[in-house]
Structure 1
Amino acid sequence: MAENRGNGVFRGTEGHMAEVVERNIKALLNRRKQEDHTRTASERISDAVTKFTGSMLFVVIHLVMFGTWVVWNLGWLGLPPFDESFVVLAMFASVEAIFLSTFVLISQNRSNIQADKRADLDLQVSLLAEHEITRLVTLVTAIAKKMDIDEAHDPEINELAKDVQPEKVMDTMEKHQESLKKEKA
């Protein structure tokens, strides 16, 4: 049976969420809100422009605007053309593209910084979990040896009981990448 607590979190034997998970979710949401409040005016503007330009409303506005421009200057509306060679339209579209790409790059740079922070957090959590698991392997192996369980003498367990050194893992990864590059060349 599941029960609903007053805080809106579903708890019980089914769908149970540990308190620490709930706390972590709240902490991450609070951090995200805090980061949003510390954005500069230019970051807010570039995010707003990027959000709008990535919408269907933006596409529809441009279809209507450019479509009207083309139809008008082809003379189909019976109005005098103001850009028969479409040079002004091309210039307008080019300048708009320059500004839009700049706004998108500003937003992407900020997103990359946030992604790097999250990747660093993921790495730290993974390293902590690896360290804790290594300690558990050591403890369980000692218990298994005390109980004279055959698997406690498996040579692979000694490897598992060693702490991973991230700098050595990264060095090894870089060596393998360099050797792959040499093989391709």
Structure 2
Amino acid sequence: MTSPTPQMIETLRDNIARLTARERAEAHAAPLSERIAGQITAFTGSMRFVALHLAVFGVWIAVNLGAVPGLPRFDPSFVVLAMVASVEAIFLSTFVLISQNRMAVAADRRADLDLHVNLLAEHELTKLAELVARIAAKLDVPVDRAEFGEIEADVEPTEVLDALDQRRREEGLTQ
């Protein structure tokens, strides 16, 4: 495998920097509610959150089992603990869903970008194939027209999507 050229490395660094800057700007411009949900989700997905819960629930359980002398039992049946945990689970799942929705939108945008870049690259390669065929014809270089004809034809994305949808229907993968 060959190593990237200095220009390619610089181009990659530039692209990474620009995309990172854009992601930061979009994160900064996100609504306050989404930023708060993201911060809560990030914290609740951490080991600090697990440790905090182990400590709080451990003390709660120890106190209400009577294992801590001098502290009265305040939830001997653990009903309040169950209610607190249930309410917390409701809110945490909501925050996770908000974050997942935001990530799904970002993933859809990246997929759209990938599709458009790929279609552009395919179109450019088609034009290059046409140019190579004309050069070959000028230089009397034999070309297998059957194979080249396929390369020279632009791919129509809607036809590809229709074919994929048809195949999924035939295989019972979609309604």
Length-normalised TM-score, structure 2: 0.89
> Greater relative contact order (Cα 8 A, min sep 6): structure 1 or 2?
2
| 1:42 aligned partner | 33
Alignment of 1:127-138 (within 5 A): 127-138=119-130
The 2-side partners of 1:33 and 1:80 are apart by 50
Contact 1:73 1:81 in 2 (8 A): yes
1:26 to 1, 6, 17: 17
The 2-side partners of 1:30 and 1:64 are apart by 39
The 1-side partners of 2:47 and 2:81 are apart by 21
CA RMSD of aligned residues (A): 1.8
Q: Residue 60 of structure 2 aligns to which amino acid in structure 1? A: W
Shift of residue 145 of structure 1? 2.5
| 1:143 aligned partner | 135
Shift of residue 71 of structure 1? 1.2
The 2-side partners of 1:124 and 1:96 are apart by 42
Deviations 1:51-108 (A, max 9, x none): 1001100000000111111111111113321111111100000000001111111111
> Are residues 1:99 and 2:87 paired?
no
> Are residues 1:180 and 2:136 paired?
no
Identity of matched residues, %: 51
The 2-side partners of 1:14 and 1:161 are apart by 29
> Are residues 1:160 and 2:151 paired?
yes
Shift of residue 14 of structure 1? 6.6
Length-normalised TM-score, structure 1: 0.85
Q: Residue 145 of structure 1 aligns to which amino acid in structure 2? A: A
Shift of residue 50 of structure 1? 0.5
Contact 1:73 1:84 in 2 (8 A): yes
Contact 1:145 1:153 in 2 (8 A): no
- Number of equivalences: 169
Name the SS for the 1:181 alignment partner.
coil
Contact 1:137 1:161 in 2 (8 A): yes
Runs of 4+ in 1 over 4 A off after TM superposition: none
Q: Unaligned regions of 5+ residues in structure 1, if any? A: 1-12
The 1-side partners of 2:30 and 2:149 are apart by 49
> Are residues 1:53 and 2:44 paired?
yes
Name the SS for the 2:77 alignment partner.
coil
Name the SS for the 2:121 alignment partner.
helix
Q: Unaligned regions of 5+ residues in structure 2, if any? A: none
